[in-house]
Amino acid sequence: MNMSSDVKVDAYTVGSATNIKFHEGMVERETKEKLLKQKGVVLWFTGLSGSGKSTVACTLEHALAARGHMTVLLDGDNVRHGLNSNLGFTAEDREENIRRIGEVSKLFAESGILTLTSFISPYRADRQKVRARMADKDFLEVFMRIPIEICEERDPKGLYKAARAGKIKNFTGIDDPYEEPEKPEITLDAKDKDGNMASAEEMAGTIIEYLEKHGYLKA
């Protein structure tokens, strides 16, 4: 679209897009949260492959639904079937993968939905960028602090075995780094205080306790 230089347009440029304008929703976030009887938030599960991110996130979603809460679960594998099907696993593609899902999860949280995201998201800077895009207390980092020895022993998809054999490149924890969160809101360990393996239900319970304590399950 060609326009003379002296014409003023109530729009602006974002990235490669021009002549766009952000439109505020007609229904305020607070109103939506009151309707849902909860506060929107992103629970960002991060950890190595095989750490149990998806299992715990799924268990948590069921537990929240049983309590009458509205949730959405965004899983790393599922998202790569659609929205991010054009991305691989290079550092650049991983960054874009997290950027996209961060923006999607932000939209859900701002609509009052308890948003669960399950992604390895290995780079600290990428996770921080997602956090920085959100309002205060809208981003809760859930660190699955499971040792690689346990993850590799589980190896539900056979990925560690393939990576060790050189059949998979850029595999997190083997030939690509995983940068642990420095100050996650929630940390889940493989074993409880008595040395017993913690179940997905126990881990989900820990998260629900945090959400209740900090007022996310009411509005």
Of 81, 83, 114, give the one whose Cα is nearest residue 98. 83
Of 154, 216, 157, give the one whose Cα is nearest residue 186. 216
Residues 40, 33: contact at Cβ < 8 Å? yes
What CA–CA distance (Å, rounded) separates 65 from 70? 7
12-19 — which CB contacts under 8 Å span 24+ positions? none
Question: Which of 5, 16, 121, 199 is an active site residue?
Answer: 121
Structure tokens at 169: 């490149």
What CA–CA distance (Å, rounded) separates 44 from 139? 7
Q: Is 85 assigned a catalytic role?
A: no
What CA–CA distance (Å, rounded) separates 48 from 177? 10
What residues have CB less than 8 Å from 204, skipping those under 6 apart? Answer: 56, 59, 60, 63
What CA–CA distance (Å, rounded) separates 176 from 169? 8
Three-class SS state of 73: strand
Name the residues annotated as catalytic: 121
